[in-house]
Amino acid sequence: MVTAEFYRWGNLGVVLALQALRKTYPGFSLELSLSLPQGQTLALLGPSGSGKSTVLRLIAGLETPDSGSIRMGERDLLALPPEKRRVGMLFQDFALFPHLDVYENIAFGLREAGWPAEAIRRRVGLLLEQTHLTPHARKRPHLLSGGERQRVALARAMAPGPDLLLLDEPLGALDRRLREALILELRALLAGGGPTAVVVTHDQQEAFLLADQVAVMREGRLAQVGSPEALYHRPADAWVARFLGHRNLLTPEQAERLGLPPRAHLLPSAALGVGEGAGARVLERLFLGERTGYWLDWQGLRLYHETPDGRWREGETLPLSLDLGRAVPLEGA
Protein backbone atom coordinates (compact mmCIF):
# COMPACT_ATOMS: atom_id res chain seq x y z
CA MET A 1 0.00 0.00 0.00
CA VAL A 2 2.65 2.53 0.96
CA THR A 3 6.27 2.19 -0.03
CA ALA A 4 9.63 3.03 1.43
CA GLU A 5 9.69 6.00 -0.93
CA PHE A 6 7.94 8.00 1.80
CA TYR A 7 10.92 7.69 4.01
CA ARG A 8 13.61 8.95 1.70
CA TRP A 9 14.06 12.08 3.69
CA GLY A 10 14.90 12.69 7.25
CA ASN A 11 15.54 9.43 9.02
CA LEU A 12 18.88 7.94 8.01
CA GLY A 13 20.82 6.48 10.91
CA VAL A 14 18.11 7.22 13.43
CA VAL A 15 17.92 5.02 16.48
CA LEU A 16 15.37 5.39 19.22
CA ALA A 17 16.82 5.06 22.72
CA LEU A 18 14.89 5.35 25.96
CA GLN A 19 17.27 5.43 28.92
CA ALA A 20 16.18 4.88 32.53
CA LEU A 21 12.85 6.52 31.73
CA ARG A 22 10.63 7.09 34.77
CA LYS A 23 7.11 8.37 35.18
CA THR A 24 5.02 8.10 38.30
CA TYR A 25 1.27 8.53 38.70
CA PRO A 26 -0.61 7.88 41.94
CA GLY A 27 -0.63 4.08 42.24
CA PHE A 28 1.49 3.50 39.14
CA SER A 29 5.13 3.83 38.25
CA LEU A 30 6.86 3.29 34.93
CA GLU A 31 10.54 2.56 34.69
CA LEU A 32 12.29 1.22 31.60
CA SER A 33 15.14 1.38 29.12
CA LEU A 34 14.68 0.39 25.49
CA SER A 35 16.40 0.87 22.18
CA LEU A 36 15.29 0.30 18.61
CA PRO A 37 17.37 0.22 15.42
CA GLN A 38 16.35 2.40 12.53
CA GLY A 39 13.61 1.01 10.32
CA GLN A 40 12.50 -1.60 12.83
CA THR A 41 9.08 -1.95 14.40
CA LEU A 42 8.77 -2.44 18.14
CA ALA A 43 5.50 -3.62 19.63
CA LEU A 44 4.68 -2.75 23.22
CA LEU A 45 2.51 -5.63 24.34
CA GLY A 46 0.95 -5.92 27.75
CA PRO A 47 -2.27 -6.10 29.74
CA SER A 48 -4.47 -3.08 30.29
CA GLY A 49 -2.83 -0.54 32.58
CA SER A 50 0.71 -1.87 32.14
CA GLY A 51 1.92 1.51 30.84
CA LYS A 52 2.06 1.01 27.06
CA SER A 53 0.31 4.23 26.10
CA THR A 54 2.29 6.15 28.69
CA VAL A 55 5.49 5.18 26.87
CA LEU A 56 4.06 6.48 23.58
CA ARG A 57 2.89 9.72 25.19
CA LEU A 58 6.34 10.27 26.69
CA ILE A 59 8.02 9.76 23.30
CA ALA A 60 5.51 12.03 21.56
CA GLY A 61 5.94 14.72 24.21
CA LEU A 62 2.35 14.60 25.43
CA GLU A 63 3.71 13.73 28.90
CA THR A 64 6.97 14.68 30.60
CA PRO A 65 9.01 11.98 32.36
CA ASP A 66 10.17 12.43 35.96
CA SER A 67 13.67 11.45 34.85
CA GLY A 68 15.59 9.63 32.13
CA SER A 69 16.27 10.43 28.50
CA ILE A 70 14.72 9.84 25.07
CA ARG A 71 16.98 10.16 22.06
CA MET A 72 16.45 9.72 18.33
CA GLY A 73 19.93 9.36 16.91
CA GLU A 74 21.78 12.49 18.00
CA ARG A 75 18.65 14.37 18.98
CA ASP A 76 17.51 14.75 22.58
CA LEU A 77 13.73 14.58 22.20
CA LEU A 78 13.03 15.78 25.73
CA ALA A 79 14.62 19.13 24.88
CA LEU A 80 12.14 19.56 22.02
CA PRO A 81 8.43 20.47 22.05
CA PRO A 82 6.11 17.80 20.56
CA GLU A 83 5.83 19.53 17.17
CA LYS A 84 9.61 19.60 16.74
CA ARG A 85 10.18 15.90 17.52
CA ARG A 86 9.51 14.64 13.96
CA VAL A 87 7.24 11.98 15.40
CA GLY A 88 3.98 10.95 13.74
CA MET A 89 1.24 9.58 15.94
CA LEU A 90 -1.81 7.53 15.11
CA PHE A 91 -4.29 7.48 17.96
CA GLN A 92 -6.66 4.68 18.84
CA ASP A 93 -9.75 6.66 17.75
CA PHE A 94 -7.83 8.06 14.73
CA ALA A 95 -8.71 11.63 15.92
CA LEU A 96 -9.51 12.90 12.42
CA PHE A 97 -10.77 16.47 12.02
CA PRO A 98 -14.51 15.98 11.38
CA HIS A 99 -14.95 19.31 9.57
CA LEU A 100 -12.10 18.67 7.09
CA ASP A 101 -12.25 16.30 4.13
CA VAL A 102 -9.76 13.48 3.61
CA TYR A 103 -7.40 15.60 1.53
CA GLU A 104 -7.34 18.42 4.09
CA ASN A 105 -6.92 15.99 6.99
CA ILE A 106 -3.76 14.66 5.37
CA ALA A 107 -2.57 18.12 4.33
CA PHE A 108 -3.17 19.69 7.75
CA GLY A 109 0.22 19.08 9.32
CA LEU A 110 2.02 20.09 6.14
CA ARG A 111 0.21 23.44 6.02
CA GLU A 112 0.99 23.98 9.71
CA ALA A 113 4.65 23.26 8.98
CA GLY A 114 4.61 25.82 6.16
CA TRP A 115 5.17 23.47 3.23
CA PRO A 116 4.85 25.19 -0.17
CA ALA A 117 1.46 24.62 -1.86
CA GLU A 118 2.89 22.62 -4.74
CA ALA A 119 4.83 20.28 -2.43
CA ILE A 120 1.67 19.71 -0.36
CA ARG A 121 -0.31 18.90 -3.50
CA ARG A 122 2.26 16.35 -4.63
CA ARG A 123 2.75 14.80 -1.24
CA VAL A 124 -0.95 14.44 -0.45
CA GLY A 125 -1.62 13.15 -3.97
CA LEU A 126 1.00 10.44 -3.52
CA LEU A 127 -0.30 9.45 -0.10
CA LEU A 128 -3.91 9.32 -1.36
CA GLU A 129 -2.87 7.11 -4.21
CA GLN A 130 -0.82 4.75 -2.14
CA THR A 131 -3.42 4.38 0.57
CA HIS A 132 -6.11 3.87 -2.13
CA LEU A 133 -8.00 6.92 -0.93
CA THR A 134 -7.94 9.04 -4.10
CA PRO A 135 -11.66 8.47 -4.85
CA HIS A 136 -12.47 9.58 -1.30
CA ALA A 137 -10.33 12.72 -1.23
CA ARG A 138 -13.25 15.12 -0.90
CA LYS A 139 -15.27 13.14 1.63
CA ARG A 140 -15.46 14.07 5.28
CA PRO A 141 -14.52 11.35 7.79
CA HIS A 142 -18.12 10.52 8.82
CA LEU A 143 -18.79 9.21 5.29
CA LEU A 144 -15.87 6.76 5.42
CA SER A 145 -15.72 3.16 6.60
CA GLY A 146 -13.62 2.28 9.64
CA GLY A 147 -10.83 0.91 7.47
CA GLU A 148 -10.79 4.04 5.32
CA ARG A 149 -10.65 6.27 8.38
CA GLN A 150 -7.72 4.25 9.64
CA ARG A 151 -5.88 4.79 6.35
CA VAL A 152 -6.53 8.53 6.46
CA ALA A 153 -5.12 8.65 9.99
CA LEU A 154 -2.10 6.68 8.86
CA ALA A 155 -1.54 8.89 5.80
CA ARG A 156 -1.85 11.97 8.00
CA ALA A 157 0.65 10.63 10.54
CA MET A 158 3.12 9.82 7.76
CA ALA A 159 2.61 12.96 5.67
CA PRO A 160 5.55 14.99 6.98
CA GLY A 161 7.91 11.99 6.68
CA PRO A 162 8.45 11.60 10.45
CA ASP A 163 11.55 9.88 11.85
CA LEU A 164 9.33 7.77 14.04
CA LEU A 165 5.77 6.55 13.76
CA LEU A 166 3.83 5.90 16.97
CA LEU A 167 0.73 3.76 16.63
CA ASP A 168 -1.61 3.38 19.60
CA GLU A 169 -3.82 0.30 19.04
CA PRO A 170 -3.92 1.08 15.30
CA LEU A 171 -6.51 -1.61 14.62
CA GLY A 172 -8.27 -1.45 17.95
CA ALA A 173 -11.48 0.23 16.85
CA LEU A 174 -12.09 -2.02 13.86
CA ASP A 175 -14.08 -5.24 13.62
CA ARG A 176 -12.26 -8.54 13.37
CA ARG A 177 -12.46 -9.18 9.62
CA LEU A 178 -11.27 -5.71 8.81
CA ARG A 179 -8.45 -6.04 11.32
CA GLU A 180 -7.19 -9.17 9.62
CA ALA A 181 -7.07 -7.46 6.22
CA LEU A 182 -5.56 -4.23 7.50
CA ILE A 183 -2.96 -5.87 9.66
CA LEU A 184 -1.33 -7.27 6.54
CA GLU A 185 -1.39 -3.86 4.85
CA LEU A 186 0.11 -2.25 7.91
CA ARG A 187 2.73 -4.98 8.03
CA ALA A 188 3.69 -4.28 4.41
CA LEU A 189 4.07 -0.62 5.27
CA LEU A 190 6.19 -1.20 8.35
CA ALA A 191 8.36 -3.98 6.91
CA GLY A 192 11.69 -3.61 5.07
CA GLY A 193 12.58 -0.03 4.25
CA GLY A 194 9.59 1.40 6.12
CA PRO A 195 9.64 3.82 9.02
CA THR A 196 10.94 3.16 12.52
CA ALA A 197 7.76 2.52 14.45
CA VAL A 198 6.46 1.77 17.92
CA VAL A 199 3.08 0.03 18.03
CA VAL A 200 1.04 -0.32 21.20
CA THR A 201 -1.23 -3.32 21.32
CA HIS A 202 -2.74 -5.73 23.79
CA ASP A 203 -3.22 -8.26 20.98
CA GLN A 204 -0.45 -10.83 20.80
CA GLN A 205 -1.15 -11.82 17.21
CA GLU A 206 -1.01 -8.20 16.12
CA ALA A 207 2.30 -7.73 17.93
CA PHE A 208 3.79 -10.88 16.42
CA LEU A 209 2.67 -10.02 12.89
CA LEU A 210 3.79 -6.40 12.93
CA ALA A 211 6.92 -6.24 15.01
CA ASP A 212 10.60 -7.10 14.65
CA GLN A 213 10.94 -6.77 18.41
CA VAL A 214 8.25 -7.23 21.02
CA ALA A 215 8.54 -5.64 24.46
CA VAL A 216 6.21 -7.30 26.96
CA MET A 217 5.18 -4.84 29.67
CA ARG A 218 3.97 -5.69 33.12
CA GLU A 219 3.08 -3.08 35.75
CA GLY A 220 5.26 -0.34 34.25
CA ARG A 221 8.30 -2.58 33.74
CA LEU A 222 9.64 -4.60 30.85
CA ALA A 223 9.01 -8.27 31.51
CA GLN A 224 10.92 -9.34 28.37
CA VAL A 225 12.08 -7.96 25.02
CA GLY A 226 12.84 -10.11 21.98
CA SER A 227 11.82 -11.23 18.53
CA PRO A 228 8.35 -12.79 18.36
CA GLU A 229 9.89 -16.25 17.93
CA ALA A 230 12.34 -15.90 20.79
CA LEU A 231 9.65 -14.61 23.09
CA TYR A 232 7.19 -17.34 22.24
CA HIS A 233 9.62 -20.25 22.34
CA ARG A 234 11.73 -19.02 25.25
CA PRO A 235 9.59 -16.90 27.56
CA ALA A 236 11.60 -15.54 30.47
CA ASP A 237 9.19 -16.58 33.18
CA ALA A 238 5.84 -18.19 33.85
CA TRP A 239 3.99 -14.85 33.75
CA VAL A 240 5.24 -14.08 30.22
CA ALA A 241 4.55 -17.67 29.12
CA ARG A 242 0.98 -17.46 30.39
CA PHE A 243 0.50 -14.01 28.92
CA LEU A 244 1.60 -15.30 25.51
CA GLY A 245 -1.00 -18.03 25.67
CA HIS A 246 1.02 -21.06 26.80
CA ARG A 247 -1.17 -23.32 28.85
CA ASN A 248 1.08 -26.18 29.89
CA LEU A 249 3.26 -24.86 32.69
CA LEU A 250 4.82 -26.99 35.38
CA THR A 251 5.55 -25.80 38.90
CA PRO A 252 9.01 -26.76 40.27
CA GLU A 253 7.34 -29.58 42.26
CA GLN A 254 5.54 -30.97 39.21
CA ALA A 255 8.73 -30.73 37.14
CA GLU A 256 10.66 -32.65 39.78
CA ARG A 257 8.00 -35.34 39.93
CA LEU A 258 8.52 -35.87 36.16
CA GLY A 259 12.29 -36.13 36.60
CA LEU A 260 13.09 -32.57 35.47
CA PRO A 261 15.18 -30.10 37.51
CA PRO A 262 13.08 -28.58 40.31
CA ARG A 263 12.14 -25.31 38.65
CA ALA A 264 9.21 -23.99 36.64
CA HIS A 265 9.01 -25.38 33.10
CA LEU A 266 7.00 -24.75 30.00
CA LEU A 267 5.78 -27.70 27.96
CA PRO A 268 5.43 -26.31 24.43
CA SER A 269 2.73 -27.76 22.22
CA ALA A 270 5.44 -29.63 20.28
CA ALA A 271 6.16 -31.62 23.46
CA LEU A 272 2.69 -33.14 23.42
CA GLY A 273 1.28 -35.50 20.86
CA VAL A 274 -1.23 -38.26 20.35
CA GLY A 275 0.65 -41.52 20.19
CA GLU A 276 1.74 -44.51 22.11
CA GLY A 277 1.98 -42.87 25.50
CA ALA A 278 0.10 -43.41 28.70
CA GLY A 279 -3.59 -42.64 28.73
CA ALA A 280 -4.79 -39.16 29.59
CA ARG A 281 -8.40 -38.74 30.61
CA VAL A 282 -10.32 -36.10 28.64
CA LEU A 283 -11.70 -33.61 31.16
CA GLU A 284 -13.06 -31.17 28.63
CA ARG A 285 -13.38 -31.26 24.84
CA LEU A 286 -13.38 -27.98 22.93
CA PHE A 287 -14.41 -28.17 19.28
CA LEU A 288 -12.61 -25.30 17.53
CA GLY A 289 -13.37 -26.06 13.88
CA GLU A 290 -10.18 -27.22 12.18
CA ARG A 291 -8.85 -28.45 15.49
CA THR A 292 -10.14 -29.80 18.75
CA GLY A 293 -8.73 -28.79 22.11
CA TYR A 294 -8.60 -31.21 25.01
CA TRP A 295 -8.07 -30.47 28.67
CA LEU A 296 -6.55 -33.66 30.00
CA ASP A 297 -5.75 -35.28 33.27
CA TRP A 298 -2.40 -37.01 32.89
CA GLN A 299 -1.01 -38.58 36.06
CA GLY A 300 -2.63 -35.85 38.16
CA LEU A 301 -1.43 -33.07 35.86
CA ARG A 302 -3.90 -30.87 34.01
CA LEU A 303 -2.59 -30.48 30.45
CA TYR A 304 -4.02 -28.93 27.29
CA HIS A 305 -3.55 -30.42 23.84
CA GLU A 306 -4.91 -29.39 20.45
CA THR A 307 -5.10 -31.70 17.45
CA PRO A 308 -7.09 -32.00 14.19
CA ASP A 309 -8.39 -35.33 15.52
CA GLY A 310 -11.66 -34.73 17.29
CA ARG A 311 -12.59 -38.35 18.03
CA TRP A 312 -12.18 -38.37 21.83
CA ARG A 313 -15.07 -37.40 24.08
CA GLU A 314 -15.14 -36.23 27.66
CA GLY A 315 -14.36 -39.09 30.04
CA GLU A 316 -12.54 -41.12 27.37
CA THR A 317 -8.83 -41.86 27.35
CA LEU A 318 -6.51 -40.25 24.84
CA PRO A 319 -3.08 -41.87 24.29
CA LEU A 320 -0.80 -38.94 25.10
CA SER A 321 2.87 -38.93 24.22
CA LEU A 322 4.97 -36.47 26.13
CA ASP A 323 8.50 -35.48 25.09
CA LEU A 324 10.03 -34.05 28.26
CA GLY A 325 13.23 -33.33 26.35
CA ARG A 326 11.38 -30.37 24.85
CA ALA A 327 10.47 -28.83 28.23
CA VAL A 328 11.73 -25.24 28.54
CA PRO A 329 13.04 -24.18 31.97
CA LEU A 330 11.67 -20.84 33.21
CA GLU A 331 12.63 -18.27 35.81
CA GLY A 332 10.22 -17.89 38.68
CA ALA A 333 7.31 -20.07 39.71
Which positions touch ligand ATP (CB under 6 A)? 25, 28, 46, 48-54, 202
Measured from the CB atom, the residue of 63 and 212 that comes closer to ligand ATP is 63
- Nearest alpha carbon to residue 250 among 201, 302, 317: 302
Shortest distance, CB of residue 51 to ligand ATP, whole angstroms? 4
Shortest distance, CB of residue 333 to ligand ATP, whole angstroms? 24
Measured from the CB atom, the residue of 92 and 307 that comes closer to ligand ATP is 92
Shortest distance, CB of residue 105 to ligand ATP, whole angstroms? 24
Alpha carbon distance 246, 248 (integer Å): 6
Measured from the CB atom, the residue of 53 and 130 that comes closer to ligand ATP is 53
Shortest distance, CB of residue 89 to ligand ATP, whole angstroms? 14
Shortest distance, CB of residue 53 to ligand ATP, whole angstroms? 3
Shortest distance, CB of residue 46 to ligand ATP, whole angstroms? 5
Grouping H, G, I as helix, E, B as strand and the rest as coil, residue 287 is strand
Cβ–Cβ under 8 Å, residues 192 and 221:
no
Tally the C-alpha atoms within 13 A of residue 324's C-alpha that lie toward its C-beta. 10
- How many of the other CB atoms lie within 10 Å of CB of 26? 5
Measured from the CB atom, the residue of 26 and 315 that comes closer to ligand ATP is 26
Alpha carbon distance 300, 165 (integer Å): 50
Measured from the CB atom, the residue of 162 and 220 that comes closer to ligand ATP is 220
CA angle 316, 317, 319 (to 5 degrees): 150
Measured from the CB atom, the residue of 102 and 231 that comes closer to ligand ATP is 231
Measured from the CB atom, the residue of 14 and 21 that comes closer to ligand ATP is 21
Please state, in angstroms and as integers, the Cα–Cα distance from residue 86 to each residue in 11, 78, 331, following that order. 9, 12, 40
What letter does residue 141 receive in the DSSP assignment? Answer: G
Please state, in angstroms and as integers, the Cα–Cα distance from residue 101 to each residue in 31, 167, 260, following that order. 41, 22, 63
Checking phi first, is residue 300 left (phi over 0); if not, alpha (psi -120 to 50) or beta?
left
Alpha carbon distance 228, 322 (integer Å): 25
Shortest distance, CB of residue 287 to ligand ATP, whole angstroms? 31
